[in-house]
Chain A
């Protein structure tokens, strides 16, 4: 019986392990090649750190990194403000066209990205807007808002409405109630919406491809362009840095969640 149990665990761990190898192999290879002396991403010839230094001297790469960060920061802030207000407003008030707005919110989530990309391209060009930072930011805000609304809604669902009513009854204004009562209560949803927007914006390829212009190239677009002639190892170095930052952030977040879980379990047994 015990043997059978062990064999079962072995199979389980094997399946889990194989899937993780599949998910992580390309990332591992990127990290490996970022330390490679050869410029060709084919064989590992020797260890070097030179690409980490030369990335910061590569003007076009740095420029695209700057564009990426500007667009991501602005579209995250705008979509969080509009999305949070919208989610609260739509849960609280009945108004004409609420169903339609609700339906429109799902369009960017479910429709293949390319359709939103060509739709944006067409509308910007009929308005004679030159493709650039502005069109990129407008497009990014559009696909970020729905994700903010959905994560804020999840927080609103668990919120005690009577707290807001109490605040109003005690004479606080709408703005004050929103800022001091509602917002702190839905903060987890706002934060997860912001994180989601940031990562969606930083890594967007398809929609950006259609609405970018000269001078508004983001890092993913720059890399896509480079891939055709061979990616320089500097890109591997940058990806390694970004990957490490993300791994640290996610593991810190997971650790705090685990600590919470442990505390809860201890609370139950005590």
Chain B
């Protein structure tokens, strides 16, 4: 009898424990993630209000507006910039991660901790600091002119070059982290075996190292490519007025032009590009947990 009451009590406790744990997170995710996103999709089919905001109705003209050559070229250019930034990050991060992984255990820990430190300094401050370094009278041009390598200062900022430097700088650690963890897992015996069997370093790199670190390459590329389309403040501060990413277009529609439905339609396109990439990433065997950067 006693046992049964006890068990009953436990069961009730279990019921409460279950809902105390899962309700807050479920409610929060439904109310502050699912509903806002659904609402953005809804707005993208509505009409623009006279003083900003929206008026209820159904239209697809916001999507037709995006077909305007002006927006289409900016979308295409933005995707081009993101692709280039992803490739540059990969080319810098791969050898770096590979060489760090060759170091001794303690050195590895220290070097990877050093990759994390700049992360913690305000992004805006670091980007602003880059504009100081790169501008006509900045450190780099100063040194190059003093040495006599150039006569005129190089145009390194307030143009596409500047925006790309800023984006590569900001996103490089997101490429380094997943690459490093996949390279670090590589068994050095495999490479030794390959070289014992007469494979040249290039061949064993292409046939062993590269395929085995594929997961890191994919995760890093997704973690660089997707955010780079939205980082509008980097193009704002380093790209001058002509270099724009999709994020700039969306921000302009919501803040300056106050055409929310058009901005929402652009956001929906950006979401579709993101989901398309993620589907491709998952189809290639990528894991979502690798994308959190933890």
Interface positions of A (Cβ within 8 A of B): 12-13, 15-16, 19-20, 22-27, 29-30, 33, 41-43, 81-83, 85-86, 88-90, 92-93, 95, 97-98, 100-101, 104-116, 118-123, 125-126, 138-139, 141-142, 145-147, 149-151, 154, 168, 173-175, 178, 192, 196, 199, 203, 205-206, 209-210, 219-220, 223-224, 227, 231, 235-236, 239, 242-243, 246-247, 250-251, 253-254, 257-258, 261-262, 265
The residue on B at minimum CB distance from A113 is: B230
Interface positions of B (Cβ within 8 A of A): 10, 13-14, 16-18, 20-22, 24-26, 28-30, 32-37, 39-40, 43, 53, 92, 95-96, 99-100, 102, 105-106, 109-111, 113-130, 132-133, 137-139, 169, 172-173, 222, 226-227, 229-233, 237, 246-247, 250-251, 254, 260, 263-264, 267, 270-271, 274, 278, 288-289, 291-292, 294
Chain A nearest Cβ from B6, distance in angstroms: 8
Q: Which residues of B contact A30 (CB under 8 A)?
A: 121, 125-126, 129
In the A-B complex, the 10 residue pairs with the smallest Cβ-Cβ separation, listed nearest first, are A89-B21, A112-B230, A86-B25, A26-B129, A119-B36, A174-B17, A12-B99, A104-B29, A89-B22, A114-B230
- B125 with A105: CB separation less than 8 A: no
- B28 with A95: CB separation less than 8 A: no
- CA A246 to CA B126, docked complex, whole Å: 15
- CA A88 to CA B254, docked complex, whole Å: 38
Chain B nearest Cβ from A56, distance in angstroms: 18
Supposing A90-B22, A123-B39, A174-B17 touch, asked if A258 and B102 sit within 8 A by C-beta, the answer is: no
- Number of residue pairs spanning A and B whose beta carbons lie under 8 angstroms apart: 257
The residue on A at minimum CB distance from B253 is: A118
Chain B nearest Cβ from A27, distance in angstroms: 5
- A41 with B132: CB separation less than 8 A: yes
Q: Which of A115, A138, A150 contacts B230 (CB 8 A)?
A: A115
Supposing A20-B114, A118-B40, A227-B237 touch, asked if A108 and B33 sit within 8 A by C-beta, the answer is: yes
- A29 with B133: CB separation less than 8 A: yes
- B250 with A118: CB separation less than 8 A: yes
The residue on B at minimum CB distance from A199 is: B120
Q: Which residues of A contact B117 (CB under 8 A)?
A: 243, 246-247, 250
- A119 with B22: CB separation less than 8 A: no
Of the listed residues B120, B222, B271, the one surrounded by the most CB atoms of chain A closer than 10 A to its CB is B120
Q: Which of A90, A98, A107, A114 contacts B247 (CB 8 A)?
A: A114
- CA A174 to CA B14, docked complex, whole Å: 7
Supposing A29-B129, A41-B132, A42-B137 touch, asked if A114 and B28 sit within 8 A by C-beta, the answer is: no
Chain A nearest Cβ from B167, distance in angstroms: 13
- CA A90 to CA B271, docked complex, whole Å: 26
- A88 with B21: CB separation less than 8 A: yes
How would you classify the secondary structure of chain A's contact residues: helix, strand, loop or mixed?
A: helix
- CA A23 to CA B36, docked complex, whole Å: 36
Q: Which of A42, A105, A123, A203 contacts B132 (CB 8 A)?
A: A42
Q: Which residues of A contact B102 (CB under 8 A)?
A: 12
- A173 with B115: CB separation less than 8 A: no
- A97 with B26: CB separation less than 8 A: yes
The residue on B at minimum CB distance from A245 is: B120
- B288 with A246: CB separation less than 8 A: no
Chain B nearest Cβ from A96, distance in angstroms: 9
- A101 with B29: CB separation less than 8 A: yes
Of the listed residues B36, B109, B116, B169, the one surrounded by the most CB atoms of chain A closer than 10 A to its CB is B36
- A203 with B25: CB separation less than 8 A: no
- B263 with A22: CB separation less than 8 A: no
The residue on B at minimum CB distance from A221 is: B124
Q: Which residues of B contact A223 (CB under 8 A)?
A: 122, 124-125, 128
The residue on B at minimum CB distance from A106 is: B288
The residue on A at minimum CB distance from B38 is: A119
- CA A141 to CA B147, docked complex, whole Å: 51
Supposing A93-B18, A173-B13 touch, asked if A147 and B230 sit within 8 A by C-beta, the answer is: no
- CA A154 to CA B293, docked complex, whole Å: 13
- A258 with B106: CB separation less than 8 A: yes
The residue on A at minimum CB distance from B32 is: A142
Q: Which residues of B contact A119 (CB under 8 A)?
A: 36-37, 39-40, 267
Given contacts A86-B24, A107-B33, A206-B233, 6 further A-B contacts (CB under 8 A): A85-B21, A89-B18, A101-B26, A113-B227, A122-B260, A138-B32
Supposing A42-B137, A118-B250, A118-B267 touch, asked if A227 and B128 sit within 8 A by C-beta, the answer is: yes
- B251 with A114: CB separation less than 8 A: yes
- A24 with B110: CB separation less than 8 A: no
- CA A54 to CA B34, docked complex, whole Å: 45
- A151 with B294: CB separation less than 8 A: yes
Q: Which residues of A contact B21 (CB under 8 A)?
A: 85-86, 88-90, 92-93
